[in-house]
Amino acid sequence: MAQDRDFKPSARRRARRFVMQGLYEHLISANPAHEIEARCRADNDLRKTDVEYLHELLVGCVRERDHLESLLLGCLDRDLEQLTPVERSILSIGAYELAFRIDVPYQVVINEAVDLAKDFGATDGHRYVNGVLDRLAKQLRPHEQPG
């Protein structure tokens, strides 16, 4: 049975932060998701983290990388390789959530990604992340769009 902490926004926010860092490592080193997750669990206090969500996002983003990148390519104004590893990691998380976690409202997905980009990305990287994920949300979740 799911624990109460699994549904706290702060627990999911912490999970996304760890996943972003893990995906960054994966992009730089090509280390497998299970090794990254094991190191994350060993090196961090995860008591206030939704570890089930962390596992799903990290494994899912690595497993679905080609699919997620193909979704993102239609929303980018540059080649994927021109994105920083931080932007690429954040966009992967957002694309995964938009595509596979329809229980998470698209506005939440975008807001969480923008917050990650503000904390870890380049100066105006959050604006770029916002624009890309907004375009992707319109494609993947047209039923949630206003108007």
C-alpha radius of gyration, the chain, whole number: 14
- Nearest-angstrom CA–CA distance, 40 and 18: 7
Q: Structural domain tally of the chain?
A: 1
Q: Which pLDDT does position 9 carry in this prediction?
A: 82
Task: Confirm whether 143 is domain-assigned.
Answer: no
Whats the size of the chain, residue-wise? 147
pLDDT digits (tens, 9 = 90+) for 73-104: 999 999 999 999 999 999 999 999 999 999 99
Task: Confirm whether 48 is domain-assigned.
Answer: yes
114's tokens: 């923008």
Amino acid at 19: V
- Nearest-angstrom CA–CA distance, 110 and 94: 7
pTM above 0.85, yes or no: yes
Place of tokens 């902490």: 5
Of all residues in the chain, what percent carry a pLDDT higher than 70? 95
CATH number at residue 115: 1.10.940.10
Task: Confirm whether 144 is domain-assigned.
Answer: no
Task: Confirm whether 118 is domain-assigned.
Answer: yes
Q: Please say if the pLDDT value at position 4 is more than 50.
A: no
